[in-house]
Structure 1
Amino acid sequence: MKKLIAGLIFLLVGSAALLYLSPATLLAGIQLVERQRAGLTLKQIGVGDLNIHYYEGGPSNAATILMVHGFAANKDNWLRLARYLSQDYRVIALDLPGFGASSKPLGSYDIGTQTERLADVIDALGLTQPHLIGNSMGGHISALYAARYPQNIRSLALLDNAGISSPQPSELRQRLQRSEPNPLVVRSPDDFQRLLEFVFVQPPYLPPSLKRYFAEQAISNSAHYDTVFAHLTERYIPLEPQLAKILAPTLIIWGAEDRVLDVSSVAVMQPLLRHSSAVILPETGHAPMIERPELTAQHYRTFLLTVQNTQNR
């Protein structure tokens, strides 16, 4: 028995050392565990000349929740939230074109173009009236999709979405107006730590090796993200004229301490939406589904149940 225990300890220590030296392996292991906890499987689909990667899980005959991530992010942003939803809903979390493992097409990444790419993905997946949820840039895209195709979704949830000129300028907007470097684009290892502190009130813990790995990946993508951000700003589509076209019930969730997009956006959006409710999460930053996944899921599940009960009448 002692030899068995000693062998197990040796194996664990050796594995830990290997993972420390191989952050890509560590990341793959964490992603596997998180996917399993969320009940999701990695899949891909061809959409025209694009290869789209996504997670899918939950009952195949249940209503579908389609998750759309934000700028410089990917489908992994939804793993923590999906854990609380996939028991009762079919969950799909995309890598948008240009992000994660999906194709990076030539051409524009402005909101209008990405919205039409999202429409193509929805058609390719054969989704009929999904519940659409988006964060930041993904919320901007989701809201514009809901305005352009109002009959195609069952509900809309917007988490700290872009596309609104907030009465109180966000810290990001103020920095960019002063021609300061974009804090969302990482150009050095120190930038990555500053990014975490900028996006979150309480940044999630990352082992040092994994933090370095994420920083390296972000730095390698910095030129691409500069291009995408330029398209988003130069070919900006404001949501204010679009919101009244949205027919689906809409839930707004916002972090009270969001430094990227100011919470005062909520006061602009609600009067323009036909059927809306809003939740402001205290001590939360720009990505509630990562920083407060369980609380975000509680509010979202309550909203979905209300939508279901209303539509079944």
Structure 2
Amino acid sequence: MKKLIAGLALILIGSTALLYLSPAAQLASLQLIERQRAGLSLKQISVNNLNIHYYEGGPRNAQTILMVHGFAANKDNWLRFARHFSQDYRVIALDLPGFGTSEKPAGSYDVGTQAEHMASVIDALGIEQLHLIGNSMGGHINALYAARYPHRTRSLALLNNAGITSPQPSELMQLLQRGEPNPLVVKSPEDFQRLLQFIFVQPPYLPESLKGYFAEQAIANSAHYDQVFAHLIDRYIPLEPVLPKIQAPTLIIWGAEDRVLDVSSIDVMRPLLRDPRVVTLADTGHAPMIERPQLTAQHYRDFLQSLHNSRSESGRGNNQEHVGIKKPAQ
């Protein structure tokens, strides 16, 4: 009990101290706190002459979950989601090349190229098989990987994934078709506030100092993100022909109020996949793992548990790694 009280006191003192730090120091301190709560450590690896940064935690001999972020995002998107899995799984949250603190190489940033970068990272980390979960562009990349490397993919979870021409065009697609500015690329402080409203139904709380800092960082990267988005459009790889090649059990989770990628994409994907499990989250936008981390984690954990149960029931469980399932942390 004394240790618990002491720990809470340290958190309170640390939270108060954050108010007096620079925005960059505030962010670094918050990232450290969230990493510790998630049981993750910051690591890096050199792959094909690229310096790749990632978070890793959990038992090294457990099954691996690889978490892949979306456009203009980074590995921090998974911190509050990852804490629900790092006790039972080896969790890796990746900064793709060109994003976060990973290297920004010259060349293409289309999803096909990124899928091969990811394959090289997986090989370098010595992972034979893994569970994949990705949001938006990250889901697009993961689906390509699962189709290209079916023997390496234990399962696939797609959160509001890109790569589908939806029956109902999303608000983003309609804006771009009218020639209006891309709301995902921030070029002014006001753009950043609009971005939060565009991505989320209820944006997560951010102190004003951090909002300003995030806006500055996004503005500084705007030319790069314009280039990346152009590659995604000009070198687009549709998922419709790819999905039937995926052999892994698949979970689709979609925020019903997504303005970036319309929820009607599910209607296209469902008949192309092998009996996918589908979850639609009400009052949720484009990034469920940020907006509703615990609920999204519960659906994903239920999915993983169902895979474990089905393997056990079919008699194949003797050759599978045991994964304990616990109630998500609060």
Q: Same fold (TM over 0.5)?
A: yes
Deviation at 1:14, TM superposition (A): 8.4
Q: Which residue of 1 aligns with 2:238?
A: 238
Q: What is the alpha-carbon distance in structure 1 between the residues aligned to residue 246 and residue 45 of structure 2?
A: 28
Q: What is the alpha-carbon distance in structure 1 between the residues aligned to residue 63 and residue 112 of structure 2?
A: 27
Q: What is the alpha-carbon distance in structure 2 between the residues aligned to residue 136 and residue 189 of structure 1?
A: 24
Runs of 4+ in 1 over 6 A off after TM superposition: 11-14
| Mapping of residues 16-35 of structure 1, within 5 Å | 16-19=18-21, 22-35=22-35
In the alignment, structure 1 segments of 5+ residues that lack a partner are: 1-7
Deviates further, 278-287 or 302-311: 302-311
TM-score, reference length from structure 1: 0.94
Q: Is the 8 A contact 2:80 2:290 kept in 1?
A: yes
Q: Which residue of 1 aligns with 2:208?
A: 208
| Mapping of residues 56-75 of structure 1, within 5 Å | 56-75=56-75
Q: Which residue of 1 aligns with 2:266?
A: 266
Deviation at 1:310, TM superposition (A): 1.9
Task: Please state whether the residue corresponding to 2:151 is helix, strand or coil.
Answer: coil
2:112 maps to 1:112: yes
Deviation at 1:308, TM superposition (A): 1.6
Q: Which residue of 1 aligns with 2:257?
A: 257
Q: Is the 8 A contact 1:80 1:293 kept in 2?
A: yes
Q: What is the alpha-carbon distance in structure 2 between the residues aligned to residue 58 and residue 75 of structure 1?
A: 16
| Mapping of residues 1-313 of structure 1, within 5 Å | 15-19=17-21, 22-312=22-312, 313=314
Taking a change above 3 Å as real, the CA distance of residues 169 and 59 of structure 1, as seen in their structure-2 partners, is same
Deviates further, 79-88 or 172-181: 79-88
Deviation at 1:291, TM superposition (A): 0.3
Q: Is the 8 A contact 1:255 1:282 kept in 2?
A: yes
Deviation at 1:87, TM superposition (A): 1.3
Deviation at 1:96, TM superposition (A): 0.2
Taking a change above 3 Å as real, the CA distance of residues 13 and 27 of structure 1, as seen in their structure-2 partners, is closer
Q: Give the letter for the 1:155 counterpart.
A: S
Taking a change above 3 Å as real, the CA distance of residues 16 and 97 of structure 1, as seen in their structure-2 partners, is closer
Task: Please state whether the residue corresponding to 1:126 is helix, strand or coil.
Answer: coil
Q: Is the 8 A contact 2:19 2:26 kept in 1?
A: no
TM-score, reference length from structure 2: 0.90
Q: Provide Cα deviations, 1:144-163, integer angstroms capped at 9, x if missing partner.
A: 11011111110000000000
Deviation at 1:275, TM superposition (A): 3.2
Deviation at 1:18, TM superposition (A): 2.6
Q: What is the alpha-carbon distance in structure 1 between the residues aligned to residue 249 and residue 310 of structure 2?
A: 10
Q: CA RMSD of the aligned region, Å? A: 1.4
Q: Which residue of 2 aligns with 1:3?
A: none
Deviates further, 119-128 or 179-188: 119-128
Deviation at 1:16, TM superposition (A): 4.4
Q: Provide Cα deviations, 1:38-62, integer angstroms capped at 9, x if missing partner.
A: 0000000110110110000011111
Q: What is the alpha-carbon distance in structure 1 between the residues aligned to residue 46 and residue 120 of structure 2?
A: 10
Q: What is the alpha-carbon distance in structure 2 between the residues aligned to residue 13 and residue 122 of structure 1?
A: 36
Taking a change above 3 Å as real, the CA distance of residues 17 and 277 of structure 1, as seen in their structure-2 partners, is closer
Q: Is the 8 A contact 1:187 1:222 kept in 2?
A: yes
Q: What is the alpha-carbon distance in structure 2 between the residues aligned to residue 193 and residue 241 of structure 1?
A: 37
Q: Give the letter for the 2:165 counterpart.
A: S
Q: Is the 8 A contact 2:159 2:253 kept in 1?
A: yes
Q: Provide Cα deviations, 1:102-161, integer angstroms capped at 9, x if missing partner.
A: 011110001111111111111111112100000000000000110111111100000000
Q: What is the alpha-carbon distance in structure 2 between the residues aligned to residue 13 and residue 152 of structure 1?
A: 42
| Count of residue pairs brought into register by the alignment | 302
